[in-house]
Amino acid sequence: MEAAKILKSLAKEDLRILMAIEIGMKRSEYVTINNIKFYSRYPIEETLFRLKHVHKFDLIIRDSSKRDVGYTLNSKAYDLLALHALVEKSIISQLGPLLGKGKESDVYSGMDDNENIYAIKIYRMGRTSFKNIKSLRDIIGKRTHLSWLYVNRLAAKKEHDALEKIYKLNLNTPKPIGYNRHMVVMEYLRGKELVYYKNIDNPLYIFDEIINQMRVIYQEGKVIHGDLGEFNIIIDEEGNILIIDWLQSISSDHPNAKIILRRDIENVCNYFKKKYKIESNIEEILSSFYEK
């Protein structure tokens, strides 16, 4: 990641200028020089010097179309600020190679000072268009001014919060280590997504394990995945089930909880029926979720 390399070349004053722009972006897309000066608490000469310096690294976007010149952060700068914060908090010390790339996120490996290996999920929702904003209503609430950087920050917080709640149930879900801005650091999961297996040993056992985990998470954690399918169920070498990607999760008291829970169950049942010829009764499984 380019931001990790650039981070080594920046002074703390440069980071403070970037954070000043970040603060100003809560109010407007582009932040004027006077406001950057105000938020950074730097004199105008230092402000201009630092703006010029970070601009050389392609970390900010300049808008000179209006009378007051303004600046905004790009995704590279946001990566840099998040990485800096995670390192400062001793959550990670090194960033490793890219592990995976999806429509909404990238996943990198990372390591802390004790050589624990983690997965670092970085939200990249700007890859999608604002046509998909309806799917993010639960995240953005009633906010009117939003940048995609901030949407990604809200998404990371939502997933981290869901992981914390679910991890307490002692299931095979990734342990949340920490988060900052649009990055979530979690336990590294060894295995691969269900969809990428040509065949699995004892598919009926795996199917039952998935349904059982879903049931425990619903009954004890009061959480529904919301987007469950073969792409976000991981199986490791020992046959453990690991459910990932909790961005679309909802509470069990959500107005559409029953519909969404049924859809999750349906997705799992249909996949195992089509791939492994496993017959199941969706309505009976759904009913079992309401029994205790």
Read off the pLDDT of residues 204-218 as tens digits, 9 standing for 90 and up. 999 999 999 999 999
Using the predicted structure, report yes or no on whether residue 142 has a pLDDT greater than 90: no
Q: What distance in Å separates the CA atoms of residue 231 and residue 100, rounded to the nearest whole number?
A: 12
Q: What distance in Å separates the CA atoms of residue 80 and residue 203, rounded to the nearest whole number?
A: 43
Instruction: Calculate the alpha carbon distances from 42 to 14, 51, 178 in Å.
Output: 11, 11, 31
CATH superfamily for 89-187 is Phosphorylase Kinase; domain 1 (3.30.200.20)
Q: What distance in Å separates the CA atoms of residue 98 and residue 88, rounded to the nearest whole number?
A: 22
Where does the chain hold its CATH 1.10.10.10 domain(s)? 2-76
Residue with tokens 């529904």: 224
**Sheet strand arrangement including 60-63:** 31-32, 70-73, 60-63
Q: Which residues of 88-98 are buried (b: 16+ CB within 10 A; e: fewer)?
A: eeebbeebbee
| pTM exceeds cut of 0.85 | yes
- Enumerate the β-bridge partners of residue 169: none
Structure-token pair, residue 189: 């999961």
Q: What distance in Å separates the CA atoms of residue 51 and residue 59, rounded to the nearest whole number?
A: 10
Where does the chain hold its CATH 1.10.510.10 domain(s)? 192-289
**Catalytic residue IDs:** 227
**CA dihedral of residues 224, 177, 81, 161 (deg, nearest 10):** 30
pLDDT tens digits along 222-260: 999 999 999 999 998 888 888 999 989 999 999 999 999
Where does the chain hold its CATH 3.30.200.20 domain(s)? 89-187
CATH superfamily for 192-289 is Transferase(Phosphotransferase) domain 1 (1.10.510.10)
pLDDT tens digits along 151-193: 899 999 999 999 999 999 988 778 999 999 999 999 888 889 9
Span 254-282, average pLDDT: 96
Three-state secondary structure along 183-249? EEEEECCCCEEHHHCCCCCCHHHHHHHHHHHHHHHHHCCCEECCCCCCCCEEECCCCCEEECCCCCC
Fold of 2-76: Arc Repressor Mutant, subunit A (1.10.10)
Instruction: Calculate the alpha carbon distances from 135 to 68, 140, 141, 266 in Å.
Output: 35, 10, 11, 20
Q: What distance in Å separates the CA atoms of residue 134 and residue 121, rounded to the nearest whole number?
A: 22
Q: pLDDT band for position 139 (50/70/90)?
A: low
Nearest to residue 49, comparing CAs of 58, 39, 38, 37?
37
Nearest to residue 84, comparing CAs of 15, 21, 150, 24?
15
